[in-house]
Structure 1
Amino acid sequence: MAQADIALIGLAVMGQNLVLNMNDHGFVVCAFNRTVSKVDSFLANEAKGTQVVGAHSLQEMVSKLKKPRRVMMLVKAGQAVDDFINQLIPLLEPGDIIIDGGNSEYRDSTRRCKDLKARGILFVGSGVSGGEDGARYGPSLMPGGDPAAWPHIKPIFQSIAAQVEGEPCCDWVGEEGAGHFVKMVHNGIEYGDMQLICEAYHLMKDVLCMEQDEMAKAFEDWNKTELDSFLIEITADILKFRDTDSKHLLPKIRDTAGQKGTGKWTAISALEFGIPVTLIGEAVFARCLSSLKEERIVHPSTNSCHSSRRRTPSELRTH
């Protein structure tokens, strides 16, 4: 019997939290995962006592959905998205909706939107921002794709989204790949923000020779100014955080950083459109360099915290 308002495929932490968020707002969700044992585990533990229903096959999942059927995927970008779409197509009818909530490349979303439209199926590519906590208690959502889908997903998306002064952090951003394009640029900007924070940390640590708690205090002070932001706030917390041996954890972490692609895609798009985003480009290159280095190499003149007198900011400005 059709009972679920929406289905969600992919029960990693983000998917689980989004399901629970939807449940909290009165929507019945049908949960499915490729490894079906995870469905049973989720229903018996995290989703125990909720309205969430499970499915052990895509056929069963589709049979439990109200029409028009709404199916959201939170799976790894790339081939996995196409594989699920290809499996869903024979099970769906014209007017049904497929939503990709992963970090897909926006051109892939444009292609999928066009291909599915030719079959009468409505496609939405939506950015989902806010991480695991955001998914659970209120993400920022950036849906785009076939505009005919928006009235059918708007009540769910705007209910579960974060709210600022009563306004949901979710609205329709445009057709085809627009949702994932906005998410790509959003992530690219975050690359730049994180690079600036890393460079500030480098100057504090290796030039000003500040201690961990001193640096944390500086970031806390910055967070009370126009720099107030989530990234500045958590940087202060990270700098203060101590390991089980009571020593600061951050210096123990290897100086390398990976990437999933959104920053790189932003830089490539900027080159294609002739838009200068030099900070984002440099942030991507810095990650490339960090992943290549086994050890961080610091020029002797900036690595003398323990062997020379600490210089003040005013002295540094004279050099």
Structure 2
Amino acid sequence: MTKAQIGLIGLGTMGSNLALNIAEKGHAVAVYNRTASKTGAFFENAADLRERIVPCATLAEFVAQIRPPRPVVLMVQAGKAVDEQIAALREHLEAGDMIIDAGNANFRDTIRRFGELEGSGLTFVGMGVSGGEEGARHGPSIMVGGAQEAWRQIEPILTDIAARFQGEPCAAWLGEGGAGHFVKTIHNGIEYADMQMIAEIYGLLRDGAGLSAGEMATIFQRWNSGPLESYLVEITAEVLRASDGATGGPLVDAILDRAGQKGTGRWAAVEAQLMGIPATTIETAVAARSLSAERDLRLKAQGAYADALPTGRLVADEAFIRDLEHALLAAKLAAYAQGFAVMEEASTEFRWDLPLGTVARIWRAGCIIRSQFLSEIAAAYDQAREPAHLLLMPAFVDTMTMASPALRRVVARGVEAGLPVPALAAALTWFDAFRQGRGTANLIQGQRDFFGAHGFERVDAQGDHHGAWSK
């Protein structure tokens, strides 16, 4: 057969599905895995796609089977494994060839790798890929960072394999250097927040109102036909409706309440802090996952504080269910607004000129946080004449004005019932502070000047001032 148009290293779940996607779209792909048996098994299971897959036993053979200039996609574990694979590839690649890191890399590692490869003749690309196993196989959302010339070289293949929204491919070049991986990091931070808030709504319905998994599945399924239409709400209904083969009961009741995480949500929270952008809903969602991991400690605390817990129940009438729907909508918008604000600040700090409308568009299909209102977000950014906060755009002012009272009621009822709603509460308190023209930080500045002579600004005069404090 003719040589491959692209190569892929790493045949785990994501890598193998992405390779099948590439082949299915008509592109010959060379594949290599450090464990040769996995390469062979992948090829044997590729069925009628084998004619466009070139299995390779060594890196030298792999590189030789790709037509120059060679684009090579890395789908290996983030961190040390990526650096080791790049080092191994450099012994075989030639000037003009391209290394595309498509894993969940920390964007600061991506920036470092750009620097290390500068002057080598090799092109480097940091590419965020979202959509999980299904997305990789049938069409993910693809976020590319690097030289625009590199994007043009690989654009035909990437747009072929990407998800599509109303015929438009969900793949785009977003900026230089680590832009693609940074946008993917913020995507995952929003994803953490979204999932945590859905789980909190589930907790209010399960522990507060005593609803069954099936009853909750019906509620989420109905919500997915309205303003909350999204992938995560859709699959929540499916997860709640699934039965456990071992017990015959709902599968969700058999799952241990300990959530895992791979670091991307934490990176989003850290970068928001480093840039001084409040993303408290994302930060709280990350903390909630960490607390979920401390199950033994939580069980001890449950016993220690059994007599201190409220015993009130929630009534799942239509008014409350409607409040939950609007509360989740308001909180989701707050989380998205925080994420987009972090991206806007990063765009300035790293001189990326991130096209935020494009980011929203390529998230409309394929990715985990795809949702109905991303089209509205894209349109709002496209129409903005100058940079503006998402929640100051007219369409979202109207939505938050309508939905935020329900968020306030839901958080209050959850707190009164002793049910944890940390991310929902974080979204509400951030929104309250966001809309408060005269806050309380004047007192903090007075305290800082008192103990550290840090100075303060005055409302009626320019310059730096100090108080005549009596110490």
Per the normalisation by structure 1, the TM-score is: 0.93
Displacement of 1:117 after TM fit?
A: 2.4
Structure 1 distance, partners of 2:132, 2:118, is: 30
What residue in structure 2 maps to residue 160 of structure 1? Answer: 161
Query: Does residue 269 in structure 1 map to residue 288 in structure 2?
Result: no
Structure 1 19/303 Cα, relative in aligned 2: closer, same or farther at 3 Å? farther
Structure 1 20/303 Cα, relative in aligned 2: closer, same or farther at 3 Å? farther
Structure 2 distance, partners of 1:26, 1:237, is: 33
AA at the equivalent of 2:57: H
Post-superposition Cα deviations, 1:143-187, rounded to whole Å, max 9, x if no partner, equal 112333112110000010011112100010111111100000000
Structure 2 distance, partners of 1:302, 1:52, is: 60
**1:158-307 counterparts in 2 under 5 A?**
158-244=159-245, 245-294=247-296, 296=299, 300=306
Displacement of 1:311 after TM fit?
A: 4.0
Displacement of 1:37 after TM fit?
A: 1.2
Secondary structure class of the residue paired with 1:50:
helix
AA at the equivalent of 1:95: G
Structure 2 distance, partners of 1:34, 1:154, is: 27
Secondary structure class of the residue paired with 2:171:
coil
Structure 1 distance, partners of 2:98, 2:2, is: 16
Structure 2 distance, partners of 1:238, 1:162, is: 23
What residue in structure 2 maps to residue 53 of structure 1? Answer: 54
Secondary structure class of the residue paired with 1:75:
coil
Post-superposition Cα deviations, 1:282-313, rounded to whole Å, max 9, x if no partner, equal 00101111111225565657686xxx977456
Answer whether contact 1:113 1:146 (CA < 8 A) is retained. no
Secondary structure class of the residue paired with 1:124:
strand
Structure 1 distance, partners of 2:88, 2:54, is: 21
Structure 1 203/67 Cα, relative in aligned 2: closer, same or farther at 3 Å? same
Ranges in structure 1 where 5+ consecutive residues have no aligned partner:
none
Post-superposition Cα deviations, 1:171-209, rounded to whole Å, max 9, x if no partner, equal 101111111000000000000001100110111111111
Give the number of the structure whose alpha-carbon radius of gyration is greater: 2
Secondary structure class of the residue paired with 2:144:
strand
Ranges in structure 2 where 5+ consecutive residues have no aligned partner:
321-409, 417-471
Structure 2 distance, partners of 1:312, 1:101, is: 44
Answer whether contact 2:21 2:139 (CA < 8 A) is retained. yes
Answer whether contact 2:60 2:92 (CA < 8 A) is retained. yes
AA at the equivalent of 2:82: V
Give the structure with the higher percent helix: 2
Structure 1 distance, partners of 2:2, 2:68, is: 8
What RMSD in Å do the two structures reach over aligned CA positions? 2.1
Post-superposition Cα deviations, 1:196-229, rounded to whole Å, max 9, x if no partner, equal 0011011111111111111111111211111000
AA at the equivalent of 1:199: E
Deviates more, 1:148-157 or 1:260-269: 148-157
Structure 1 distance, partners of 2:70, 2:223, is: 47
AA at the equivalent of 2:34: R
Displacement of 1:46 after TM fit?
A: 2.6
Secondary structure class of the residue paired with 1:172:
strand
What residue in structure 1 maps to residue 36 of structure 2? Answer: 36
Answer whether contact 1:110 1:145 (CA < 8 A) is retained. no
AA at the equivalent of 1:235: T
What residue in structure 2 maps to residue 23 of structure 1? Answer: 23
Displacement of 1:252 after TM fit?
A: 1.3
Structure 2 distance, partners of 1:56, 1:190, is: 37
Structure 2 distance, partners of 1:309, 1:180, is: 44
